[in-house]
Amino acid sequence: MKIRRSWYELLKDETEKDYFKALQEFLSNERTRYTVYPEDDCVFNALNYVPFDKVKVVIIGQDPYHEPNQAHGLSFSVLDPSPLPPSLVNIYSEIENDLNIKCSSSGDLSRWAKQGVLLLNTTLTVRRGQAMSHKGKGWEEFTRKIIELLANRKEPMVFMLWGSHAGQFADIIPSQHLVLKAPHPSPLSAYRGFFGCKHFSKCNEFLEKHGQTPIDWH
């Protein structure tokens, strides 16, 4: 496993549990028989881009994109030159309306991750062409542990919880953090309140209030 040391020290005990060993065996078999996304060395990119103590914002997705040349370990993000997925189009639209800026044409959100935005899917792998195919195999327990570790940090952070799937984590996040909830940015639900939620300006106001550099969301 290629996990940044600051995270591995915190998650080492988790990786030795039976469920995680079973998950790794499942993944090994899956990669032997099918194409699995993202590539093996990108699975933990969300953690590898942002050290534990540098996380300022957490955005929780579900599972990786399941078509070629898309997933690279960051939620909602796609590799260039892939076209922007519909949810990311809506995210950019909300950013532009909220902050009155023009977003990049690139769907690669590593530029956010490098500023302290943890782009974490709750399921970290998927079989090609089969959305949610690795759901219920153990990833959810592992990523919930990650969210719990962050929630227990004293330093204030922003948690953006979009849709009911991400919203389930609200109950474990203490009051020193800012929890921003909205419908998912998917075209199926964005018009129910994601558009106009102003999460990005609220996030930056909170960070500045607590002496942190705001995120450049372009």
Answer yes or no: 41 catalytic.
no
Q: H or E segment at 179? A: strand 178-182
Options 63, 80, 108, 216, the catalytic residue: 63
3-state secondary structure 64-120: CCCCCCCCCCCCCCCCCCCCCCHHHHHHHHHHHHHHCCCCCCCCCCHHHHCCCEEEE
What residue spans of the chain are helical by DSSP H? 5-15, 18-33, 45-49, 86-99, 110-113, 139-151, 163-167, 199-209
Question: Which residues belong to the active site?
Answer: 63
